[in-house]
Structure formats: C-alpha cells, structure tokens
Structure 1
Amino acid sequence: MYSLSATNHYQCIAYEKNKGAHKEQLDISQEVAYKLYIENTLITTLIASPHDFRDLILGYCLMEEHIESPDEIATISMNRETHRIDVTLAHHIQYFQDAMPTARAVKNTQITVSADEICSYGSLLDSITKAHHTSHGVHEGAIVKASEVIAYAEDVGRHNVLDRLLGIIVTQHIDTSDKILIFSGRVPQSVIKKVHRLGVPIMCSRAMPTALGLALADSYNITLCNVLRPDSFKCMTHPERIQGLETLYSDSL
C-alpha cells in the first residue's frame, strides 16, 4: 500500500563477545543527493530516500514557503544522470526567493482523544512497513484519525518525512485540523516548525523532544506526546486535548 524506502544488501563482519566474529549481510537504506532548482535558481541539495520525489518536492517547496499553493508549480522534472531537479512555475508567477509571504497553519483546538487511543498508536508505525526494521535507517510518519491511517511517508531524513506528508496532504486535499501525527524521530524546534505547517493539533513521537522543541510546541498550541509506546506516553504540552489528563492539567494551572 505504501512505498518502501530502497535498501541494498551489504556484507560486514559482526562480532559477538560469546560467539566471536562472523560474516553477516545487512540491509542498508539508500539515499541520494539531488540539487533542487526553482526557475533555474539553486535552492538546496536534497538528501533523501529515492522514491516518491514529487510528494517530497511539492511538500518541501510549500514547507519552505517557496510557493503558496501547488497550483503555482507548472512542472517538476528530474535528471537522474546529473542528479538535478528543476521546478518551473506557472507563467503568471514571478519568483523572488527572499520575498515569499509567511504561511500560516490552522489548528482546531476543540479536538479531544482518549489516552488509550494515543497508546493504541504506540506500535502503529511498526505495522505499516518493514523498512525500519530491516534497515533501521529510515524515519516514519503517519497522519491518523480514529485508528485509520490517512497518509504515510518514510525517508532517511526525519525532516523529509514531514515534507513528504505535506505533499500528500495538499495533493489529496486532506483536512488535518482533526488529525494526529505519529512520528518516529526526535522533536527539536525544526521539526515542530514543520508540524505547525502540517496543521495537526496533536503530535505523538516515539522519541524525545528538545527544550526548544517543547517551547515552540507550547507557543504553537500543539499537544506533544513523547516516548510513545503501546502502553504509555509522556504528554509534554497542552494535555487538555487528551481525555483522562484534564484533572492533572487543571491542577497545574
């Protein structure tokens, strides 16, 4: 159902204290580097998994505010020999790299979910693909509602996962104001900025946040749950959206 990150087989010599050394074959995640140009202006070099590039490019351009809507892109072309991606804009769009307006995300603060539902997503990412378990080299993200996976993305880069999700969201016209993001990676402020752009009011990660990530999640009114497991999680910001935590939240006010 979902695209898998590419892996290749590599030989190594593994050592175990009680067993000694032996040859072993590992699945290693593949990554590629492509220079991204918008209207022949070099924007960045993308380091990413080699699949579903259109979602990634669309999401990246929106996330970094190079465009305001998907309609502004006329074509996306990729040259696999030169590792170059060219984005051309619609004829009525004049591109100014440093003068794009700031995009705003909309949050629905009325959404509430149960603590048990949050726990039910503790093993969700493990059940979608085997890429993480075979290579231990990709990050994953899923947009969910009522235990249904609405969108899924994976990539060697955690920021790329969020860019890919945004590409899927705008392409499929997904309303994220009542959805939850399940994420595999750490949550620094750079991740929270992208989550804010996705427009989800609740984010759950298997990993920990940073102090700046927490501060930004709080200011953006994002409910942030970390160390997500099938039987536990730690709610770090805005617990009022999670049923069963209201009393503790009220006591902290």
Structure 2
Amino acid sequence: MYALSDINHYTCTSYSKQDGPKQEELHISQEVAYKLYIEGKSITTLIASPHDFKDLIIGYCIVEGHVEGPEDIAHISMDSETHRIDVSLTHDVSYYQDAAPKPRAPKNMDFRVSADEICSYGGLLDSITKAHHTSHGVHEGAIVKDGKVIAYAEDVGRHNVLDRLLGIIVTQKIDTSDKILIFSGRVPQSVIYKVNRIGVPIMCSRAMPTALGISLAEKYNITLVNVLRPDSFKCMTHKERITGL
C-alpha cells in the first residue's frame, strides 16, 4: 500500500560483557545522493531513501519556493548513473524565486480532537512498517483523520519525510485543514516550518521539540504534541484544540 525504504543486510561483530563477541546480521536502511537542477541551475544535493523521488522533489520545490504547486513543474528526469535530477518548469525560472512567498491559509482554530484519540496514534507508525523498524534507520510521517491514514511517507531524513508528504498532499489535492500529522522525529524550527506549509492544525511527534520549534508552532497556531505514546503525550502549544486537557 505504501512505498517503503529499501533495506540492506550487513554482518557486524557485536559485543557484550555477558556474552562476549559474536557475529550478528543487521538491517541497514539505504540512502542515495542526487544533485538537483532546476532549469539547468544547481540547487542542492538531496540525500534520501531511494524510493518515490517524485513526491520528494515536488514537496521540496514547493517548500523552498521554486514552485507554488505541481502544475508549475513541466518535467522531472532522473539519471541513475550520474545521480542527477533535472526539473523543467512551466514558467520563467526566476518567477517564484524573485516573488514574495504567498501567505499560507490560517490554521483551522475550530478543529477539535479528544486526548484519547491523540493517544490512539501512539503506536500508529509502528503498526504501518514493523518490518522496517528492524533497521532503526528511517523517519516516518502520516496524515490521519478519525483513525484513518490518509497519506504516509518514510525516509532516512526527517525533513525528506515532510517534503514527501507535501508532494503527496498537493498531487492528490488532500485538504489538510482537518487532519493530524503523526511524526517520528525531533521537532526543531526547521520541521515546524515545513509542517506549517503542509497546513495541518495539529502535529504529534514521538520525540521532543526544541525551544525554537515550540516558539514557531505557537506563532503559526499549530497544536504541538510531543513524546506521543499509546497512553500519554505532552502538549506544548495551543492545547485548546484537544478536548479533555
């Protein structure tokens, strides 16, 4: 159902004081590096899991302001030998780079969800890709509503997960104003910046935020939930959206 990260098998020597040294097989997540060019101009190097690059590229280009939507991308080509991605646009290359960013729609302040429902998502990511958790090498994100997964992405990079989700959202025209984002990674300012572009009113992470992440979530009217577990969580900002608190 979902595109999942590739995994390689490696042999290592593990050691414990109780058992001494022994050979052990590990599951290691793959990653690849591709240079991204837009209209022939070098933009960045994307280091990511090697699956479904299209969603990642679309989401990255939107977040970074190179395009406003997928309709602005005329063509995407990938060369696996040179590890180069070329994106051609339907408009002049300098259009969005020179223009002021468009303001995001205000967050849905009327959206409400119960504290018990938030807890019900505490084990969600584990239930989607149990096999891939053996590597402990990927981050994950899911857009959910009423217990149902609307979109899912995983990648070796936590920022890539959010770019992939945005690519899925804009391509499938998903309304995120009444959805929740469940995320596996730490939440610094850079993550909240991307979450704001995704447009969800509530973001829940299994990990901790940073001070700047909390500050930006407060500014963007995002309800930020951290240390999400099946029986507990910590709400850092805008708790008014969660009933029972």
TM-score by length of 2: 0.97
Alignment correspondent of 1:115: 115
Q: Deviations over 1:75-124 (max 9, x none)?
A: 0000000000000011xx11117414314332111100000000000000
Distance 1:132 1:224 in 2: 26
The aligned amino acid for 1:112 is R
Alignment correspondent of 1:182: 182
Distance 1:232 1:32 in 2: 36
Q: Deviations over 1:114-146 (max 9, x none)?
A: 000000000000000135411100000000000
CA contact (8 A) 1:105 1:198 kept: no
CA drift at 1:68 = 0.8
Distance 1:134 1:6 in 2: 12
Alignment correspondent of 2:103: 104
CA contact (8 A) 2:65 2:97 kept: no
The aligned amino acid for 2:85 is I
Distance 1:185 1:132 in 2: 16
Alignment correspondent of 1:78: 78
- Once the two structures are aligned, what percentage of the paired residues are identical? 74
Distance 2:237 2:104 in 1: 18
Q: Which moved more, 1:122-131 or 1:24-33?
A: 122-131
SS of the residue 2:55 aligns to: helix
- Given the superposition, is the C-alpha separation of residues 131 and 153 from structure 1 closer, same or farther in structure 2, using an over 3 Å criterion? farther
Distance 1:189 1:131 in 2: 30
CA contact (8 A) 2:62 2:69 kept: yes
Alignment correspondent of 2:228: 228
Distance 2:101 2:87 in 1: 20
The aligned amino acid for 2:217 is A
Alignment correspondent of 1:147: 147
Distance 1:129 1:111 in 2: 29
Alignment correspondent of 1:243: 243
- Given the superposition, is the C-alpha separation of residues 101 and 213 from structure 1 closer, same or farther in structure 2, using an over 3 Å criterion? same
Number of equivalent positions: 243
Q: Deviations over 1:32-73 (max 9, x none)?
A: 000000000000000000000000000100111100111111
Distance 2:68 2:177 in 1: 19
Alignment correspondent of 1:36: 36
Q: Deviations over 1:187-240 (max 9, x none)?
A: 000000000000000000000000000000000000000000000000000000
Alignment correspondent of 2:92: 94
Q: Which moved more, 1:122-131 or 1:49-58?
A: 122-131
SS of the residue 2:236 aligns to: strand
The aligned amino acid for 1:99 is D
The aligned amino acid for 2:92 is Q
Alignment correspondent of 2:214: 214
**RMSD over aligned Cα atoms:** 1.0
Alignment correspondent of 1:157: 157
TM-score by length of 1: 0.94
Alignment correspondent of 2:135: 135
After TM superposition, the runs of 4+ consecutive aligned structure 1 residues lying more than 6 A away are none
Alignment correspondent of 1:55: 55
CA contact (8 A) 1:104 1:197 kept: no
Q: Which moved more, 1:29-38 or 1:101-110?
A: 101-110
Distance 1:98 1:52 in 2: 26
CA contact (8 A) 1:6 1:50 kept: yes
SS of the residue 1:237 aligns to: coil
Distance 1:113 1:26 in 2: 40
